[in-house]
């Protein structure tokens, strides 16, 4: 049976380390990241390039400045605009789910990813407050391992669904 492990990170550095460790343990294609992008492309000196200042994970992925774990996921990155939240960066398999769920918000997309609606609203609020979400889709027998890695690097509210 497939499970979803989800966690919120207040630190981009912690999320990067967790993602890098997860990739090293074979979870590479199963990792997703969701973060609020407080710097829109319009702020980039009149170009199509993303804003490159600040501490947004979107900036790092877009400019190649994010070390280790996130850089390998950049190919699956997508910029989304969710009503009531604003611009988001979704990296990994969750990007496709959320692009079709823009009207249902993050909670709606997370519900399609196996996260109960109440917890989806909780994590949507965490993103609104500036946290990053890291999710891992995996088999039952790997869920505890993924949960442990997320916790080890500062993941908060780590849950298995």
pLDDT band, very low/low/confident/very high, at 18 (cuts 50, 70, 90): very high
63 Cβ partners below 8 Å, 6+ apart? 49, 50, 52
31-36/2-9 β-pairing: unpaired
Q: What is the pTM of this model?
A: 0.75
Q: Which residues, 6 or more positions from 58, have their beta carbon under 8 angstroms from its beta carbon?
A: 35, 37, 39, 50, 77, 79, 87, 89
Residues written for the chain: 161
Q: How many domains does the chain have?
A: 1
Judged against a pLDDT cut of 50, whether residue 3 lies above it is answered with yes
For the segment 57-81, the average pLDDT, to the nearest whole number, is 46
Say what the pLDDT of residue 78 is.
59
Q: Which of 7, 11, 5, 19 is nearest to 91 (CA)?
A: 19
Q: What is the pLDDT of residue 66?
A: 38
DSSP 3-state of 1:
coil
Cβ-contact 81, 102 below 8 angstroms: yes
pLDDT at 113: 82
Query: Residue 106 has what pLDDT?
Result: 84
Beta strands in the chain (DSSP E): 2-9, 31-36, 78-82, 86-91, 132-139, 156-160
Looking at the predicted structure, is the pLDDT value of residue 26 above 70?
yes
Residue with the bigger pLDDT between 103 and 87: it is: 87
Average the pLDDT over 55-84 and give the result. 47
For the segment 111-154, what is each residue's pLDDT rounded down to a tens digit? 888 899 999 999 999 999 999 999 999 999 999 999 999 999 99
Q: What value does the mean pLDDT of the chain take?
A: 76
In which domain, by residue range, is 41 found? 2-160
Residues 6+ apart with CB under 8 A from 100: 109
DSSP code of residue 73: G
């Amino acid at each position: 049976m497939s499970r979803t492990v989800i966690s919120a990170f207040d630190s981009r550095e912690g999320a990067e380390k967790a993602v890098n460790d997860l990739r090293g343990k074979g979870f590479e294609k199963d990792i997703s990241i969701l973060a609020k992008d407080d710097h829109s492309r319009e702020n980039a000196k009149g170009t199509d390039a993303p804003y490159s200042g600040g501490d947004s994970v979107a900036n790092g992925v877009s400019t190649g400045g994010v070390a280790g774990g996130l850089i390998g996921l950049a190919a699956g990155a997508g910029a989304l605009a969710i009503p009531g939240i604003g611009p988001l960066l979704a990296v990994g398999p969750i990007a496709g789910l959320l692009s079709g769920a823009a009207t249902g918000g993050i909670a709606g997309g997370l519900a399609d990813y196996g996260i109960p609606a109440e917890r989806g609203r909780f994590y949507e609020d965490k993103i609104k407050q500036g946290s990053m979400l890291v999710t891992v889709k995996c088999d039952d027998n790997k869920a505890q391992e993924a949960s442990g890695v997320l916790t080890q690097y500062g993941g908060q509210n780590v849950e298995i669904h």
